């Protein structure tokens, strides 16, 4: 059977059939993902097994990029959960794949390292904004369209142009004419 026919069959696999194929091809413990994502990831790994994956240097660059974004490429949402009570791959499941892949695929990075690269390519969710507490008397200064905006923090809000506001977002909206996150507008909202 040709690779295209094998790949065309993947969207028709149910989750149990896909997990069986996953284990039979030796891809290790499958991640817990929705079926459409599992099907795409499985198709990618099957193609990597036949054609070879990314070069070692490309993998190192992806892993370095992932670390640069605060991600550990070896552990992430695609990694199996440590709290799994049972394995989706039975111990004898690596015996007879029903997909007819080439008997001796060319040397390539292992599927687990390929999954690390997929983690590095996967867009990550932004971390939640950290809560910033401003002390009374703090002055926030921002330049906007050539104007200097200077806001003082008071006990029950903020003062700008001798007018009291409940939130920085109100001030940002007044200054810009559009809805803004006040903490972001004034540069005090940081990520995680």
Q: For 66-111, how does the pLDDT look when each residue is reduced to its tens digit (9 = 90+)?
A: 776 655 545 444 444 444 445 567 655 444 445 554 443 444 444 4
Length of the chain: 192
Distance CA 77, CA 96 (A): 28
State the average pLDDT for the chain.
74
Residue 7 has pLDDT above 70, yes or no: yes
Q: Is the pTM of this model over 0.75?
A: no
* Tokens matching residue 121: 């390519």
Residue 134 has pLDDT above 60, yes or no: yes
Every domain of the chain and the residues it spans:
3-121, 139-185
Evaluate whether 60 touches 129 at the Cβ level (below 8 Å): no
Distance CA 8, CA 88 (A): 24
Q: Which SS3 state, helix, strand or coil, does residue 67 take?
A: helix
Distance CA 12, CA 31 (A): 19
Residue 177 has pLDDT above 90, yes or no: yes
Condensed to tens digits (0 to 9), the pLDDT of residues 40-76 reads 888 888 888 888 887 888 888 888 887 766 555 454 4
Q: Which SS3 state, helix, strand or coil, does residue 145 take?
A: coil
């Amino acid at each position: 059977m040709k690779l295209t026919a094998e790949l065309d069959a993947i969207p028709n696999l149910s989750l149990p059939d896909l997990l069986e194929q996953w284990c039979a091809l030796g891809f290790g413990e499958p991640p817990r993902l929705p079926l459409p994502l599992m099907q795409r990831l499985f198709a990618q790994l099957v193609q990597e097994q036949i054609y070879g994956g990314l070069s070692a240097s490309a993998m190192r660059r992806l892993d370095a990029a992932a670390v640069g974004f605060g991600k550990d490429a070896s552990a992430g949402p695609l990694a199996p959960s440590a709290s799994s009570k049972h394995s989706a791959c039975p111990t004898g499941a690596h015996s007879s794949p029903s997909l007819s892949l080439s008997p001796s695929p060319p040397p390539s990075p292992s599927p687990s390292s390929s999954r690390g690269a997929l983690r590095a390519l996967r867009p990550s969710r932004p971390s939640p904004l950290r809560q910033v507490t401003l002390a009374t008397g703090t002055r926030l200064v921002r330049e906007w369209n050539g104007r200097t905006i200077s806001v003082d923090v008071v006990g029950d809000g903020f003062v700008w142009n001798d007018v009291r506001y409940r939130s920085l977002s109100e001030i940002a909206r007044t200054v810009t004419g559009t809805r803004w996150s006040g903490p972001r507008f004034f540069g005090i909202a940081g990520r995680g």
